[in-house]
Amino acid sequence: MSKPRIAMVLGDPAGIGPELIARLLSEPQARRQAQVILIGDEAELQRGMSLAGAEFAYRHVSSVQDLDFSDDTPLFYNYRGDTEGEFARSEATAKGGRYCLDTLAIALDLTAAKNTDAVLFGPLNKTSLHMAGMDHSDELHWFAERLGFAGPFCEFNVLDNLWTSRVTSHVALSSVPGLLSHDKVVQAIELIDTALKRNGLARPRIGVCGLNPHNGDNGSFGREEIDIIAPAVRTAQAKGIDADGPYPGDTIFLKVQGDASAFDAVVTMYHDQGQIAIKLMGFSRGVTVQGGLPIPITTPAHGTAFDIAGQGKANPGAIRQAFEIACRMGRNNA
């Protein structure tokens, strides 16, 4: 089977992204695993290597139109878009955000055109992106617009072999009950089922959370489990999806920890219901997958880490995991 081709972006120059990318691509196994085109400013790549204390050879390309993946040497497209001069460090800036959007646009376009199979990007900073003019709530919605995609999508969070998704995301907790519906719960189950199949699982096992404490205790304090979530699980099952639930949100992750074979994925009803559990279980290994989009896109879940940027001690665990997922999904996307 041919190697997946990964379009890679350094991420916000004020954070730890360049250091993480340098650590990843300095590993011979990573270079053997995929054919990489790295897009970014060469000075930032060199700085990342210096911070990481790790170097790798790369081959310059003057254009991204005709990529020659003839060996394991990563290709490098020296590009920084519409920015000039030094980048600020350990702080959000419009220049850093603009650089991220410009380099990401190249990676998205390459992958949408089938010149590459997946995108992996170093951590971004939402404040920087908004300062640069991104008027979306997050980069996921910007990706969808850039790709011209109008279908359903959501953010998946992954820790090792466990994936999570959510029916509602960046909304006030008080708004969550009114935003739940049978169709939205079914859609969330279908999205993560499809993503896991693209990740190589033939029949993913999906657990679904309830909303209320103790699943509402048979309607004593909330009927969402009875009226919305359980019927949605039955609909997903009727479509051939191996879904089960709802399970109380305070115990479903204990079930997963106690039995690794219990579920491959957990669908939660709101942001922190899954995020708190996943981050407690392994913050430094977590990965974000931009789910539902027509191309695979992955990144570490931990963010830009301005507090340790420039100190040469960034943990590459999450970016290794993000790379592994990008390779698997990219291979199935080729």
Reported as a single tens digit per residue, the pLDDT across 5-54 is: 999 999 999 999 999 999 999 999 999 999 999 999 999 999 999 999 99
Which residues have C-beta within 8 Å of that of residue 199, sequence separation ≥ 6? 163, 325, 328, 329, 332
Domain parsing of the chain, residue ranges: 5-149+293-333, 154-277
Is residue 261 very low, low, confident or very high in pLDDT (cuts 50, 70, 90)?
low
Q: What is the pTM of this model?
A: 0.92
pLDDT of residue 200: 87
Question: Is pLDDT of 63 > 80?
Answer: yes
Counting DSSP H helices and E strands in the chain, the numbers are 13, 12
pLDDT, tens digit, 9 for 90 and up, residues 285-318: 899 999 999 999 999 999 999 999 999 999 999 9
Is residue 66 very low, low, confident or very high in pLDDT (cuts 50, 70, 90)?
confident
Strand partners, 156: 289
Burial class of residue 295 (count of CB atoms within 10 Å of its CB; 0-12, 13-18, 19+): buried
Burial class of residue 68 (count of CB atoms within 10 Å of its CB; 0-12, 13-18, 19+): exposed
Q: For the residues 211-227, what does the mean pLDDT come to?
A: 96
> Does the domain formed by 154-277 have CATH 3.40.718.10?
yes
Strands 162-166 and 154-159: antiparallel
> Does the domain formed by 5-149+293-333 have CATH 3.40.718.10?
yes
Measured between alpha carbons, how far is 211 from 279 in angstroms, rounded to an integer? 20
The region of weakest confidence among 66-80, 101-115, 233-247 is: 66-80
pLDDT of residue 218: 95
pLDDT of residue 164: 95
pLDDT, tens digit, 9 for 90 and up, residues 170-212: 889 999 999 999 999 999 999 999 999 988 899 999 999 999 9
User: Any idea what DSSP says for residue 174?
Assistant: G
Tokens standing for 298? 């992955």
Question: Is pLDDT of 1 > 60?
Answer: no
pLDDT of residue 289: 96
- How many CA atoms lie less than 13 Å away from 308 in the CB half-sphere? 15
Query: How large a percentage of the chain has pLDDT more than 70?
Result: 98
- Equal CATH topology for 5-149+293-333 and 154-277: yes
Burial class of residue 227 (count of CB atoms within 10 Å of its CB; 0-12, 13-18, 19+): middle
